[in-house]
Amino acid sequence: MPKKKVGKQKIRDIKHVFLDIVGFTQEGRIPEDQEELIGVFNRIVMSALKALLVQEDQRILLPTGDGVCICLYGDVDYDLHVKLGLEILKRIAKHNDTETRPQIQFAVRIALNAHPDIMVQDINGQNNIAGKGINDAQRILTGSGRGNLVLSEGVFRNLSGFSVYRTSSIEFKPFKIIDKHNVEHSVYLYSQKDAVGLNNELPEFVDEEGYVRSDRFDKTKSDTQTVAIFWLGHDLRWTGDRIIEGSSREKTLHGFSQILKNYAHSGIQSQELAAELKRLNEDATQTRDEEWSLAFRKQLDERIGNVLARIKTLLNPSQEEPSDTNQSITRIGNESMEAQSWSIHRGKIFPADMLHANKGTVAVWARVSDFHNRIGPKRYRYIVSTAGNGGKSFGNPALARYPNAWAICRVLPTVKFPTGQWSFFCNGTKPPQVKLRSADILAPGWHLFTIEWSRTDGYVRFYIDDQVVNQARFGPWPEGSLSEIILGTWPNDSPTHRFGSEVGPLYSIDRVLRPDELLAVLADRPV
């Protein structure tokens, strides 16, 4: 193995396997999901290394947060990086087949390179890799997509010299990447017909001339900015809710601390907004405990709402004032910030066709009052609903009690269940039902209730405000000709089924959410 000492450095021939999780922060995963997913990812990578008998003295693992660069060196097979990439993809596919929770299912993109690099000790005294090889591997990763294995030109030339890689089942599809430094990289998509988990199609962002161009990246926010914008909106709303519900001053100050931190990383340039956030933090910090009156709390919450509205305006300066008809809203935190064609329904009754979509999201505002938290008789108070047969029971045990039902409601607290429940349920014409419930006690005020579903990915997810409170496998769903969707009551409009306070508007779109999209809806909180 050729190596040359350079002081305490060593030049090594390195095979690079650079991979990361696609959409790690952008697919509706809460932090607990992300932590669990990284654990699954790490176990898959380590099990793949073990399966291929890669020893500790033959590899260096360099974590990247939502991925890893595996640097292979020493006496290893000429194509070990290819075998390792394929083994990881196969194990991810097996994991996804058995994992029932969509947020713990995932895909990776992979880039392979081979080049001499310098082995050094990092600031923690650990082995690390530096040089052109690992830098190029990271550039090549930008041209890889979901389930892709993209090779550098050097890796391609090496593999193409062996007969095992010149079979009818293997193909190398050429394209080019122009990186942010305007350097062109010739790369190849590795395609193999029988490889489990491998995506053999070129990424959708390869243009007609066969290029992945640097301006694709220039037009988008960095992942750091996207995540910071999402958490900025989350922390603003969370802090406002804590203020109104009477939480301690310390908890509120923690919220303002997180707000300032995420604003600093958001990339938003506004001296006016920065000054207002600073004033909010100072007012909260300098006001004594005994001065935190209800009036003061309401004032802080109103100022937070104004900040959310200001952020929305800054990120979408061309947005028009809403009208009473269906319209488009823009999601905060989207890399391109383009309009996403949400429909806003401001009436009380409208067609239920939206539920026929293969994927979709429905979100509706409802004003929670003390009435909804008061212990009394068990009652179902509906925020939104649809059901066949006029909402009346068929009385036939072979059929669903309420055919083609789809509803979000408040199950009022009782002595036996003092917290009550926020409930979503739906079914087709026959049992069983999909049921998602939350025992959260919500502070009085406006709250957003959202249902997201995907027949393709097999899940239904229930959000309250910007938090996932429950989810389940996609199951029985309204089918055939559907009744109308009704806000604020059950289809038969029984007085005991009416929500009892304001409901609406309702938002819908025929696809699933990205986490930052809820910020745009939350910023449109009714007044």
**Domain membership flag for residue 70:** yes
Percent of the chain as helix, strand, coil, to the nearest 5: 30, 25, 40
Max mean pLDDT among 210-224, 256-270, 423-437 falls in 423-437
Question: Confidence band (pLDDT; 50, 70, 90) for 15?
Answer: very high
Q: Please check whether residues 37 and 176 belong to one and the same domain.
A: yes
Which helix (H) or strand (E) segment holds residue 473: the answer is strand 467-473
Q: Please check whether residues 65 and 118 belong to one and the same domain.
A: yes
**Domain membership flag for residue 325:** no
Question: Confidence band (pLDDT; 50, 70, 90) for 133?
Answer: very high
- What is the structure's pLDDT at 383? 96
Sequential DSSP letters for 44-73: HHHHHHHHTT--GGGEEEEE-SSEEEEEE-
pLDDT in tens, 437-453: 988 888 888 999 999 99
- What is the structure's pLDDT at 1? 43
- What is the structure's pLDDT at 6? 39
Q: Please check whether residues 232 and 276 belong to one and the same domain.
A: yes
Q: Please check whether residues 12 and 103 belong to one and the same domain.
A: yes
- Three-state SS at 518: helix
**Domain membership flag for residue 291:** yes
Last residue of a domain, one of 218, 251, 277: 218
Peptide bond into 432 cis (omega under 30): yes
Last residue of a domain, one of 174, 193, 218: 218
119/215: higher pLDDT: 119
Q: Please check whether residues 61 and 112 belong to one and the same domain.
A: yes
Residue-number span of the structural domain to which 496 is assigned:
343-523
- What is the structure's pLDDT at 390? 67
Dihedral angle computed from the Cα positions of residues 284, 289, 294 and 299, in that order, rounded to the nearest 10 degrees: -10
507 and 343 in contact (C-beta within 8 Å)? Answer: yes
- What is the structure's pLDDT at 197? 95
pTM for the whole structure: 0.46
Question: Confidence band (pLDDT; 50, 70, 90) for 212?
Answer: confident
**Domain membership flag for residue 425:** yes
Tell me the average pLDDT across 513-522.
72
**Domain membership flag for residue 307:** yes
Which amino acid belongs to residue 134?
Answer: I
pLDDT in tens, 155-209: 999 998 899 999 999 999 999 998 877 788 899 999 999 899 999 999 888 887 7
406 and 426 in contact (C-beta within 8 Å)? Answer: yes
| Residue 53 Rama label (left phi>0; alpha psi -120 to 50; beta) | left
Q: Please check whether residues 450 and 303 belong to one and the same domain.
A: no
Q: Is the pLDDT of residue 426 over 70?
A: yes
Q: Please check whether residues 382 and 411 belong to one and the same domain.
A: yes
Tokens of 52: 């291929």
Range of lowest pLDDT (325-334, 360-369, 455-464):
325-334
Question: Confidence band (pLDDT; 50, 70, 90) for 275?
Answer: confident
22 and 98 in contact (C-beta within 8 Å)? Answer: no
Q: Please check whether residues 402 and 358 belong to one and the same domain.
A: yes
Q: Please check whether residues 283 and 209 belong to one and the same domain.
A: no
Q: Please check whether residues 107 and 150 belong to one and the same domain.
A: yes
Tell me the average pLDDT across 312-334.
43
Number of domains within the chain: 3
- What is the structure's pLDDT at 395? 61
